[in-house]
Structure 1
Amino acid sequence: MSMNREEIKELAEHIYDLDAEVYIHLGSSLGRVFNRDRERCVNELTELLMTRPQGHVVRSELALIANMARTLEDKEERKLCMSEYDRILKEVMSLPTSFAHGDVLDPDLAELNAFNLKERFSDQDHLIVCISWTYGSGGNEVGFRLSDKLKISYYDAEIFEAVLKRLDAEKDSFHDTAGYASEVKDEISQSPASAFAPAKKLTLRQRFREFSRYHGLSKRDAVFFNQSDLLCDMAKKEDFIIMGRCGDAIMTNNKIPHISIYITAPFEQRVLRAVEVNSGLDERKARRLLHHLDRRHSRYYNFYTGRKWGHANNYDLCINTASYGIDGTVDFILKMIDGGRK
């Protein structure tokens, strides 16, 4: 679908208005996604929708609005808001610059497939899906579309940070300690070169202050334990999809029923997709970036879980998106979940 700037601006206004409508019904307990003046927010959204992007920014903002809309107690209000959300999402997904554009499908791998999942959820358990993924495999798009199909909440780095801030967590706790997902957010949204910038060194005074603030734990450890507690609390209250955050290991260690999925694709397919969805990223930089992010993700996951990131033994399902494509992967997982909950 081709849209001119005025039409895209109108779509941005609808997104802003839906956020406002949800906020009016909810009150101030969860806050707003767009809490600045209308004109500025609409203009920023218009630019994001016109230039591809920062697709993860649009995806996270839409998902957060949907998460809040699903909590509306009045069924009619919830239905109206979710109908408008579905209409907006359909328009956004059809844009040439949509975050959903670009697939990982390798037709030569796409014909072989079977699966099964044993029953594990009781009637009292919430559906928790923990997704780990390699950058360039389309994992975030799979998680986002899966949440929309299942009508459950979606939490990625940006949304999880917002939830923690609303619970009066440390406002700076995710700047360099949140792990792979927020690292990808920072690195890709700025420039590929920033992924390799050295970490900011703290002074002795700053290190002592953080030592006192976190009761002797490193800031990195304190953030991990804080997010672990929050995930366990969320699992008692709602169905959701969690992207990264070592969610699978946290759920396992706390004996919380869940489905754990690892999403990846052949390195060459990931390189092609990374170049396609990130303007200014050539093939050489993409290769270097993917190697770098894989190492960082692996170190973080291995350190906090004692497991090996990407090892098949740690997951219910390891899936190669090049064999299914993004939509096919979502359908595959949906069938597995339906079979596992019967």
Structure 2
Amino acid sequence: MENNRENCYEIAKQIYHLDEEVYKCVGSSLGRTYTGDEATCVENITKLLITRPQGHEIRSEIALIGNMARTIKNKEDHHRMMKEYNDILKKVEKIPSSFGSVDIINENLAALNSSNLRQHFSPEDHLIICIGRTHGSAGTDIGFALADKLKINYYDAEIFKQVLKRLDAEKEQVVDHSDYKTELREKIHKNTNIGKFFENFNRYHGLPTQDAIFFNQSDLICEMAKKEDFIVMGRCADVVLTNHRIPHISIFITASFEQRVHRMMELHNLNYKQAVLLLTKLDRKHERYYRHYTGKKWGDAVNYDLCINSASYGIEESVELIERMINQYPNHDK
């Protein structure tokens, strides 16, 4: 256990210093992933690596650094930073229970799979891959691994939170005015922050917090689609891009409920009942979110270009399957 902690601590220092070096090379106003003092940040990263290496948080933080590293214009610096980034990913993969180490594959289904898929984009279009997934299907692990293999950026909910924060649209600044009459009356009565209330009300047209964040996020996705190749996890990105007539590939990844339950039990050390309750709750939440913002049924095959039963392929084979789907895309080989 002690050896594992020492190993995680060394990797944490490497992650922190990579973030520092990438920021120096980019010189971007977007800032760094880790902004605190080194000792505190390294300790926090170490804890994440030890306790939740399979979780989305550490993966998102590493991906955000990788996304920034890919923007480095100096070839020498770019090569050096990406080499360091790849080295860190390999080390993280070797940590016991690291993300992606618990596969989703069902050997009986895997023996039956086959594919011969093609997708055509014009040379001017960026490669945008939108991935929807059920929890426990390894969809997030597949998306992260695919982005790394294609050498393109990866965005998920955690990364968008950080990006929006950097663009001065952080959640804390978005005031929920769903009950604006009551709130305004209280502010008039107390004679406090009335100006700030109207400023935020006008800025977000009286939208509830979640709606304001969604529309900011959607604008950001469309802006990025004009400038770069990337993979985006969830966020109703497939419908957002369709509505703006921006070419993309939409993929939905799932597996049988029983298969997902067993994977969640392994990943999170849950008993069967706990895993069932957690998956049911998360699936319901995603279904409501998708239906609310798109009017479509989440996971319905007609809404996607490709639906994958990840239990038939596992993480690595699913990545290869998607790669074969885009192998005729002119600009994906960076």
TM class by smaller structure? 0.7 to 0.9
Displacement of 1:53: 4.5
Aligned to 1:316: 305
Aligned to 1:63: 63
Aligned to 2:125: 125
Aligned partner of 2:251 among 261, 264, 267: 261
Structure 2: give runs of 5+ residues left out of the alignment: 187-196
The Cα offsets for residues 1-32 of structure 1, whole Å up to 9 and x where unpaired, read as x9533232111111111111101111241211
* Distance (Å, rounded) in 1 between the aligned partners of 2:51 and 2:253: 27
Displacement of 1:264: 0.5
CA contact (8 A) 2:131 2:251 kept: yes
Q: Is the alpha carbon distance of 1:290 and 1:173 closer, same or farther for their aligned partners in structure 2, counting shifts above 3 Å?
A: farther
Displacement of 1:56: 1.3
Specify the structure having the higher radius of gyration (Cα). Answer: 2
The Cα offsets for residues 119-147 of structure 1, whole Å up to 9 and x where unpaired, read as 43111110000000001111110110000
CA contact (8 A) 1:152 1:241 kept: yes
The Cα offsets for residues 178-212 of structure 1, whole Å up to 9 and x where unpaired, read as xxxxxxxxxxxxxxxxxxxxxxx999317995755
Structure 1: give runs of 5+ residues left out of the alignment: 177-200
TM-score, with length taken from structure 2: 0.88
Displacement of 1:213: 5.0
* Distance (Å, rounded) in 2 between the aligned partners of 1:278 and 1:249: 31
Of 331-340 and 216-225, the range deviating more from structure 2: 216-225
Aligned to 1:251: 241
The residue identity in structure 2 corresponding to 1:81 is: M
- Say whether residues 1:205 and 2:195 are aligned partners: no
Aligned-residue RMSD, C-alpha? 2.5
* Distance (Å, rounded) in 2 between the aligned partners of 1:153 and 1:61: 12
CA contact (8 A) 1:119 1:341 kept: no
Count residues in correspondence.
317
- Say whether residues 1:160 and 2:160 are aligned partners: yes
CA contact (8 A) 2:144 2:154 kept: yes
Q: 1:325-340 residue pairs with structure 2 within 5 A?
A: 325-339=314-328
The residue identity in structure 1 corresponding to 2:96 is: P
| Secondary structure of 2:130 counterpart | strand
Q: Is the alpha carbon distance of 1:175 and 1:285 closer, same or farther for their aligned partners in structure 2, counting shifts above 3 Å?
A: farther
Q: 1:57-206 residue pairs with structure 2 within 5 A?
A: 57-172=57-172, 204-205=182-183
Aligned to 1:297: 286
* Distance (Å, rounded) in 2 between the aligned partners of 1:30 and 1:24: 12
| Secondary structure of 2:73 counterpart | coil
* Distance (Å, rounded) in 2 between the aligned partners of 1:341 and 1:112: 30
* Distance (Å, rounded) in 2 between the aligned partners of 1:61 and 1:220: 23
Identity %: 57
Q: Is the alpha carbon distance of 1:253 and 1:24 closer, same or farther for their aligned partners in structure 2, counting shifts above 3 Å?
A: same
| Secondary structure of 2:12 counterpart | helix
TM-score, with length taken from structure 1: 0.86
Aligned to 2:192: none
CA contact (8 A) 1:131 1:242 kept: yes
CA contact (8 A) 2:140 2:233 kept: yes
Q: Is the alpha carbon distance of 1:174 and 1:219 closer, same or farther for their aligned partners in structure 2, counting shifts above 3 Å?
A: closer
Displacement of 1:34: 1.1
The residue identity in structure 2 corresponding to 1:204 is: T
